[in-house]
Structure 1
Amino acid sequence: MTIYLGILLALICAFTTNLAFLYKHRGAVAAPAVHVSHPLRSAVGLFSSPWFAFGMGVAVLAWIFHVAALAVAPMSVVQTVLAGGVVMLAVMAERIFGFKVGPRQWIGLGCTALGLVLLGITLPVVHDPNSQFSLPGMIAFEAGLVAVGGLLVMGKRIGAPDHHHGVMLAAAAGLLFGVSDVALKALTGLVADDGVLALLTTPWSLVAILASIAAFYASAKALQEGEAVPVIAFTGTAANVAGIAGGIIVFGDPLPGDVLGIVAQSCAFLLVIVAAALTPAPVRAAQPAAA
């Protein structure tokens, strides 16, 4: 029964997360540019924008729903439900925030949602939250995500095209959010076993905090440098893929045991790759309708 509660919480999280990102984008583009060399000044500049501050408030609410979902459902299931949020993103961007989402972006977002949902439903069903993990596997997985995220952040400095920097930062932010999510999932199991004091005695609390801070700055800079829909979609997709992979690699969520399931998952990854090629096309904000 708890798995259905986790799915409901994840659906609410998907809606509030995308709503928060859209508000943060509106605020970030009006705020001073984010500079890694001046983190406090950048944070003050971002929060001085009312829209960004409001978006962060909505994001905190979404985070609470996310943690609650992770506590009662397997990580791969939660992330699969969140994957459907990219379709919500397109609808909200057009209907509420006045962005023009073209056919190419709709196809890309649809491929993303279909691929990630297909990936999730082909995983064998598990009936417990499954927060137990192997320490070496956890360290290796988290370190790998941080390394890839760092390369994406430095993309422009190592020769990547400037016009791709926004989506590269978005992907880096998503991976760092994935690092935080995996650590949070581990913490839910530790708290269940040892109580709240486990939060003070495990290094995974620090990992979750530091990864969230790094993701915050990478995401804010991405929102300033890239178009709203592609940036938000890339952030969410990277976080979802990291979360699903973490559920399998770190927490032992089972893989499909038949050929059909393996083929379906291969198709799912192919759909996500196709979506990555389609989604970054230009998306321009329409003039908001008069109130």
Structure 2
Amino acid sequence: MILYLSFAIVASLLMSLGLLMMKSRSAHLPMAAGADTIGAIITWIRDPMWIGGLGVQTAGWAFYLIAVTRAPVSMVAVMGQGGIALFVTASVVILGERASPREWVGIGAIVLGMLMLTLSLNGGAIEGKFEPATLLTFSALLSLAALVPMTVARMNASGAAAAILSGVAFGLGALFTKAMTFEFAGGHAALIALQIAANPYVYCMIAANIAGIVLLQNSFHSARAIIAMPLSGALSNIVPILGGMIVFGERLPAGATPAVMRVGAFALTIAAGALLAGSREHAPVDPVMTGALSRAKT
């Protein structure tokens, strides 16, 4: 299982790098909203840096898909929190955003949570029976709940609402990916192409991830990367953790010590994501545009 959790770490790093590339272009690209949604997305696709970031994210998703075929989705989600730490650090170093002491505490908490998770691996992980009806109900209720922040004007203006909804969309995409692997595991290799075409979870996964990308890119226009990504990332990992237990019947290790460490890792990484997302200091900056203007003047 350690090998597949290593794939999850690689997936997290690639996805974070891809998002960083996409964020760097947020001030140069239009928002996807209303009647201009399709036109804006086409503009994004035509931008070399943005489409390159999407390609890196796709590579990360491929590693994620491999990881969830053999590891519980809740554990893979926790390992994915490391990508938040990388993204926050890169936002400070590359994008020039400022991190508060509160945000650095959150990064440290994420690293500690990953260490606790690693030490709990010997306790094993048990998956129960997958219930499709439970997945449908869970997805519907969670989607409705995620739309509530969109009705709050302040959260819309700050980009927080779009970041929250994007995190839920990515999280549901992770659950649909896991459900997809369950379906493929029961079929014949010779019919894999037909299985993909006929599997509804494939289309749900694609739709959820596309929605997540569009919403997160929109949030980048109003929120600092150091805020938008942790807010989206924390939710994108909380959803699979909860869904893994509710939908796939994932259980804690039998031993008391690894079970406590596993719960502690979940709680710590969730709290760290909330801690990073809680700051609203400093307006969004665009060092990429500033640097371009400076070079143009010289």
Q: Is this a same-fold pair by TM over 0.5?
A: yes
- Tell me the residue number matched to 1:206: 203
- Paired residues, what number? 284
Unpaired stretches in structure 1, ≥5 consecutive residues: none
Kindly indicate whether residue 6 of structure 2 is the aligned counterpart of residue 8 of structure 1: yes
Map of 1:1-291 to 2, 5 A cutoff? Answer: 3-111=1-109, 114=112, 125-126=123-124, 130=127, 132-152=129-149, 154-156=150-152, 159-164=153-158, 166-195=159-188, 196=192, 197-255=194-252, 261=260, 264=264, 268=268, 271-272=271-272, 275=275, 278-282=278-282, 285=285, 287=287
Rounded to whole Å, the distance in 1 between the matches of 2:151 and 2:117 is: 28
Q: TM (normalized to structure 1)? A: 0.83
* Residues 74-133 of structure 1, C-alpha deviations (whole Å, 9 max, x = no match): 1111111111222212222233333332323222343455567768977994357x4841
Secondary structure at 2:99 match in 1: coil
Rounded to whole Å, the distance in 2 between the matches of 1:221 and 1:230 is: 13
Q: RMSD across aligned C-alpha pairs, in angstroms?
A: 3.1
* Residues 125-144 of structure 1, C-alpha deviations (whole Å, 9 max, x = no match): 4357x484112211111112
Rounded to whole Å, the distance in 2 between the matches of 1:68 and 1:283 is: 38
Rounded to whole Å, the distance in 2 between the matches of 1:55 and 1:131 is: 36
Equivalent AA in structure 1 for residue 239 of structure 2: A
Kindly indicate whether the alpha-carbon contact (under 8 Å) linking 1:109 and 1:275 is maintained by their aligned counterparts in 2.
no
| Deviation of 1:52 (Å) | 1.2
- Report the identity percentage: 22
Equivalent AA in structure 2 for residue 56 of structure 1: L
| Range with bigger deviation, 192-201 or 212-221 | 192-201
Equivalent AA in structure 1 for residue 147 of structure 2: G
| Deviation of 1:46 (Å) | 1.5
Kindly indicate whether the alpha-carbon contact (under 8 Å) linking 1:122 and 1:265 is maintained by their aligned counterparts in 2.
no
* Residues 5-58 of structure 1, C-alpha deviations (whole Å, 9 max, x = no match): 111111111111111111101112211222143332121122232221111111
